[in-house]
Amino acid sequence: MDALTFGVQLLNGVQYGLLLFLVAAGLTLVFGILGVINLAHGAFYMLGAYFAYWISAHTGSFAAALVGGVAISFLLGLVLEELFVKRLYGRDHLAQVLLSFGLILVIDEVRQMLFGKDVHSVAPPAWLQGSIQLTDVLSYPVYRLALCVVCLAAAGAIFYVIQRTRLGMIIRAGAENRDMTRALGIPFDLVNKYVFAGGIALAALGGILVSPISTVFPGMGDGMLILSFVVVVLGGIGSVAGAAIGALMIGLTDTFGKVFFPQVSSILIYVLMAGVLLWRPNGLLGKKEA
């Protein structure tokens, strides 16, 4: 493999990792702050992609799909939190598993009623179509580069919110000591709502962003759910920085695994996870007590 091909694969791995990070960050925040395990996270990723397909097919605008898809998902998150999720804070994880499994079935079926079960593709915005010609035979799609930029911007925004804003401060304090923050009179109910809806919106954003470079199909959420779980297990529950590290590890492992060990590439990430579990059962940046 020459340096240029390696570079392209490296870029692919990083791009994949960044996308994974967006989705997994939503998951790890919901775990870490709400203590809720959400198996339906992948379903929202899938839903995001279908929103992107539907909105862009009707408006012809990918930007509208991006904004509209995220907004709808966020609202959906608010509604679901109010209806269901908030009743499960503090209940055992088993109830949360069942609820989110029930939600998956409902979301899948509603998606089928609204959008059908066909496989779709979404066109990237016109100004991001085309490729950069690297050599005579190698080129790199502009959209993938733009995707990296958008993911990086979103990652930056997540870190900014958590590290620099009042909401982030409350989130961090809440993750450390819920009772204390409650005692300080912080409107936790509202924060919970935003965190849950924000997590959902991140999953959907991932689905929207991926739609122009992948096909949009009903089962796309499942694969993403498992990958985000692996990312969170690697990084440690509730750790956004851990999710970033885990996502890049998975992105690179998967991309280079397919290049070097195509036979076993689908198993490699689990081997990686097993290794981390042996070494640090609570994840690379996880706290001692989960």
Stretch 15-54: interaction string toward another protein, x if CB under 8 A: ----------------x---x-x-x---------------
The encoded tokens of residue 108 equal 């899948």
Stretch 221-240: interaction string toward another protein, x if CB under 8 A: -x---x--xx-xx---x---
Which residue in 66, 99, 200, 208 binds another protein (CB under 8 A)?
99
Stretch near another protein under the rule CB under 8 A, chosen from 12-20, 144-152, 180-188, 282-290: 282-290
From the CB of 41, what's the least distance to another protein, in Å? Answer: 11
Stretch 260-279: interaction string toward another protein, x if CB under 8 A: ---x--xx--x--xx--xx-
Determine, following the binding rule CB under 8 A, whether residue 281 of this chain makes contact with another protein: yes
From the CB of 139, what's the least distance to another protein, in Å? Answer: 28
Classify 240 in phi/psi space as left (phi over 0), alpha (psi -120 to 50) or beta.
Answer: alpha
- Determine contact, residues 22/73, Cβ cutoff 8 Å: no
Closest to another protein by CB, 138 vs 258, is 258
Q: Hey, is 153 helix, strand or coil?
A: helix
From the CB of 231, what's the least distance to another protein, in Å? Answer: 10
From the CB of 245, what's the least distance to another protein, in Å? Answer: 17
Determine, following the binding rule CB under 8 A, whether residue 104 of this chain makes contact with another protein: yes
Stretch 72-91: interaction string toward another protein, x if CB under 8 A: ------------x--xx---
Burial of 241 (0-12, 13-18, 19+ CB in 10 A): middle
Dihedral (Cα; 39, 42, 48, 54), 10-degree rounding: -100
Stretch 195-224: interaction string toward another protein, x if CB under 8 A: ---------------------------x--
The encoded tokens of residue 163 equal 């590290």
Of 166, 118, 125, 165, the residue nearest 146 (C-alpha): 125
* Alpha-carbon 289 to chain mean position: 24
DSSP state for residue 40 in the 8-state scheme: T
Of 131, 123, 127, 128, the residue nearest 147 (C-alpha): 128
Which residue in 97, 114, 134, 152 binds another protein (CB under 8 A)?
97
Stretch near another protein under the rule CB under 8 A, chosen from 9-17, 101-109, 139-147, 210-218: 101-109
Determine, following the binding rule CB under 8 A, whether residue 119 of this chain makes contact with another protein: no
Report the distance separating Cα 68 and Cα 207, nearest Å: 13
Beta-carbon neighbour count of residue 174 at 10 Å?
21
Burial of 282 (0-12, 13-18, 19+ CB in 10 A): middle
Which residue in 159, 188, 282, 287 binds another protein (CB under 8 A)?
282
Binders of another protein: how many residues, by CB under 8 A?
43
Beta-carbon neighbour count of residue 103 at 10 Å?
18
Report the distance separating Cα 210 and Cα 16, nearest Å: 9
Q: Which residue has the tokens 């979301």?
A: 107
Site residues for another protein per CB under 8 A = 31, 35, 37, 39, 84, 87-88, 93-95, 97-99, 101-106, 108-110, 112-113, 222, 226, 229-230, 232-233, 237, 263, 266-267, 270, 273-274, 277-278, 281-283, 290
